[in-house]
């Protein structure tokens, strides 16, 4: 579970996030929506301790992310799949990640299976397609079997079958009791993936609602709610 409480982040004169509060509860997929520059990445970075808030705080399972002894076992996150690269083989990459986080090596094969990369596990990452690297990054997030998952634009590079696979995976992770936060610009996809929606504009909360409460068209709700935000 993630709790964001009055999170504020200022970069010089830019107020990227402005007294933002919302919750990502266990057992549901929460879709995180906002226009370019609305403050989504800043919020995700704050949750993961990569950005220090100007004010307010973020908690994962009741504690700041950085205070968890083995963070990868608490939160799995994919912020930028393209950042997984290089000459290592996919399996070796996951093994190294497991080792450095005190995760049993046996988990690697389970995860490779889960993300559908068994057949290419011994290929070098540099030779994998963007979609395969996306799956590998998702595998890294699943490795510690965490109770909370954060996916930033996870559908980039995935083909239609990959998108369907991700949708099923997110649903399964939530049904197993995990808190799942997914940011995406793809409204139709969000409408099929999320149970609830958090929408932000200009760093402020615009809506935190169940998908059903936002009406029959998520896209219409998004346009309606973001119209007032200055940076749309």
Ligand X SMILES: Nc1ncnc2c1ncn2[C@@H]1O[C@H](COP(=O)(O)OP(=O)(O)OP(=O)(O)O)[C@@H](O)[C@H]1O
Q: Which residues bind ligand X (CB under 6 A)?
A: 11, 14, 16, 34, 36-42
d(CA 19, CA 39): 12
H or E segment at 219? helix 218-226
Cβ closest to ligand X, residue 20 vs residue 75: 20
Q: Closest separation between CB of residue 152 and ligand X, Å?
A: 8
Cβ closest to ligand X, residue 23 vs residue 54: 54
d(CA 125, CA 121): 9
Q: Closest separation between CB of residue 166 and ligand X, Å?
A: 18
Asked if 159 and 135 touch (Cβ cutoff 8 Å), the reply is no
Pairing of strands 2-11, 14-24: antiparallel
Pairing of strands 75-78, 148-152: parallel
Radius of gyration of the chain (CA): 17
Q: Closest separation between CB of residue 116 and ligand X, Å?
A: 27
Cβ closest to ligand X, residue 36 vs residue 69: 36
* 3-state SS track over 124-168: EHHHCCHHHHHHHHHHHHHCCCCCEEEEECCCCCCCHHHHHHHHH
Cβ closest to ligand X, residue 40 vs residue 95: 40
Q: Closest separation between CB of residue 16 and ligand X, Å?
A: 3
Q: Closest separation between CB of residue 188 and ligand X, Å?
A: 17
Cβ closest to ligand X, residue 120 vs residue 194: 194
Cβ closest to ligand X, residue 148 vs residue 183: 183
Burial 23-53 (b: 16+ CB within 10 A, else e): ebeeebbbbbbbbebbbbbbbbbbbbbebeb
Q: Closest separation between CB of residue 45 and ligand X, Å?
A: 8
- Residue 98: how many CA atoms within 13 Å on its side-chain side? 20
């Amino acid at each position: 579970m993630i709790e964001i409480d009055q999170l504020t982040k200022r970069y010089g004169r830019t107020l990227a996030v402005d007294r933002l509060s919302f919750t990502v509860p266990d057992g549901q997929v929460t879709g995180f929506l906002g226009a370019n520059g609305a403050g989504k990445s800043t919020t995700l970075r704050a949750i993961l301790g990569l950005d220090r808030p100007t004010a307010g705080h973020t908690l994962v399972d009741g504690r700041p992310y950085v205070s968890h002894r083995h963070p990868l076992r608490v939160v799995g996150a994919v912020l930028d799949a393209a950042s997984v690269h290089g000459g290592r083989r996919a399996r070796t990459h996951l093994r190294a990640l497991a080792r450095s986080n005190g995760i049993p090596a046996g988990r690697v094969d389970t995860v490779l299976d889960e993300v559908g990369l068994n057949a290419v596990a011994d290929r070098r990452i540099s030779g994998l397609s963007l979609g395969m690297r996306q799956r590998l990054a998702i595998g890294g997030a699943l490795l510690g079997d965490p109770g909370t998952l954060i996916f930033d634009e996870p559908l980039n590079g995935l083909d239609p079958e990959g998108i369907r696979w991700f949708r099923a995976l997110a649903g399964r992770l939530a049904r197993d009791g995990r808190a799942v936060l997914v940011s995406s610009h793809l409204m139709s996809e969000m409408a099929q993936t999320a149970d609830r929606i958090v929408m932000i504009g200009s760093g402020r909360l615009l809506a935190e609602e169940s998908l059903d409460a936002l009406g029959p068209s998520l896209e219409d709700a998004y346009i309606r709610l973001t119209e007032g935000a200055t940076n749309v």
